[in-house]
Amino acid sequence: MSVSIDIQHAVKRFGDKTIIPDLSLHIEEGEFFTLLGSSGCGKTTLLRMIAGFNSIEGGEFYFNEKRINDLQPYKRNIGMVFQNYAVFPHMSAGKNVGYGLKQRQVKEPEFSRRVDEILNVMQIQELKDRMPANMSGGQQQRIALARAIVIQPDVLLMDEPLSNLDAKLRVEMRLAIKRIQNQFKITTLYVTHDQEEALSMSDRIAVMNHGVIQQIGKPMTIYSHPRNLFVATFIGQSNLFDAEVVECEGKKALKFFDGSLQVMPRLQSSVPVGTPVKVVIRPNEIDFADQGIVGMIVETIYLGAEIRYTVNLENGQTVEVSHDIKRRFAQNGEVVHLAFDHTRANAFDAQTELSLMEEK
Ligand SMILES: Nc1ncnc2c1ncn2[C@@H]1O[C@H](COP(=O)(O)OP(=O)(O)OP(=O)(O)O)[C@@H](O)[C@H]1O
């Protein structure tokens, strides 16, 4: 049975170092929830607190209404999958998968039925009698996942499970994990520093920095409506511009270093004229137009479906632009005007770094 996870004001210290100062979050029953952040931001630390492998210096942890702060790890009914597979090398795949069932004293024929079922679901039936040494990384990770799920855990915790796999396998395994999670609807907390993984798999994502959650939201919200500059620049590739809020024919607009203007209909109406802002624009949200910031194309890279341009501006800044291959092909040395898709660009207060855009 799946449970909801509720964390209220969690604190984690190692010695006199505070890793997590005050963290709260709620994960719905059956949800695929991802902690996304760069190395060292405290993702694993939080995961281990939930699993019961780390002490808790403050705050309350609940599975449904049950407080788990002082519950022994083995009583939390958690399935775990780590980066380094952690399958037992001296056991066949089938024995590995059945390990948790044996510990729980599940007897035949139930035992074999459940092992076979999960091997089937994971599409690894043919590996049942094979030893881990004779399996690829991807196969070992499937075994690890099957072993975690077969016990019907209340919560599945995964810590960078795909980091050791090559790029192609990583994408395949994303789909496999997502499919299994969907099928069993196990409440899942997934830890990764890989934003593409997070965006493609999660129901919701929490972006973390220095032990503090910066934003929690659906992948699309996090990507399109970042609530602060950190999230905007951490997720996806972005260009950053300094600008100032001005009024232009009764509408809010941004004025850039060269005096060029860009109307911004989504800018909050309460933002005062003269406010210095940072504007974040993704490479695919910049057009070559008749007006806008002037620059010169210094590099073009052909990537099959898209072309990437590097454009140098008069102030020395470099801008990355990416266009669909179907568009007009611009050449190195060409002088272009950059216009932004104002429905997608995001502006942030230069001081507080908080978003100045209207909510969707
Ligand atoms: N047992 C420990 N004792 C002291 N400091 C620790 C301990 N475990 C983790 N830390 C520190 O806590 C911080 C957060 O580490 P954590 O492993 O949670 O980060 P992370 O976001 O999961 O990054 P990574 O992906 O690199 O594991 C780091 O500064 C780390 O050095």
Q: Is 2 helix (H, G, I), strand (E, B) or coil?
A: coil
Where does CATH 2.40.50.140 sit in the chain? Answer: 233-349
Neighbouring residues of 129: CB distance < 8 A, sequence distance ≥ 6: 92, 93, 94
Check whether 70 has a pLDDT greater than 90: yes
Q: What is the pTM of this model?
A: 0.90
CATH of the structural domain 5-228, one choice from 3.30.379.10, 3.40.50.720, 3.40.50.300, 3.90.220.20: 3.40.50.300
Give yes or no for residue 88 CB within 6 A of ligand 1: no
pLDDT-derived band at 357 (thresholds 50, 70, 90) equals: very high
Where does CATH 3.40.50.300 sit in the chain? Answer: 5-228
Residue nearest to atom 5 of ligand 1 (CA): 14
Residue nearest to atom 2 of ligand 1 (CA): 14
Residue nearest to atom 19 of ligand 1 (CA): 40
Check whether 184 has a pLDDT greater than 90: no
ipTM above 0.90, yes or no: yes
Closest ligand 1 atom number to CA of residue 54: 1
Give yes or no for residue 295 CB within 6 A of ligand 1: no
Q: Are 19 and 45 in contact (CB under 8 A)?
A: yes
Closest ligand 1 atom number to CA of residue 42: 18
Q: What is the pLDDT of residue 360?
A: 64
Q: Are 41 and 91 in contact (CB under 8 A)?
A: no
- Among 27-41, 131-145, 151-165, 248-262, name the most confident range: 27-41
Identity (one letter) of the amino acid at 311?
A: V
> How far, rounded to the nearest angstrom, does the alpha carbon of residue 249 sit from its chain's CA centroid?
40
CATH fold for domain 233-349: OB fold (Dihydrolipoamide Acetyltransferase, E2P) (2.40.50)
Q: Are 69 and 147 in contact (CB under 8 A)?
A: no
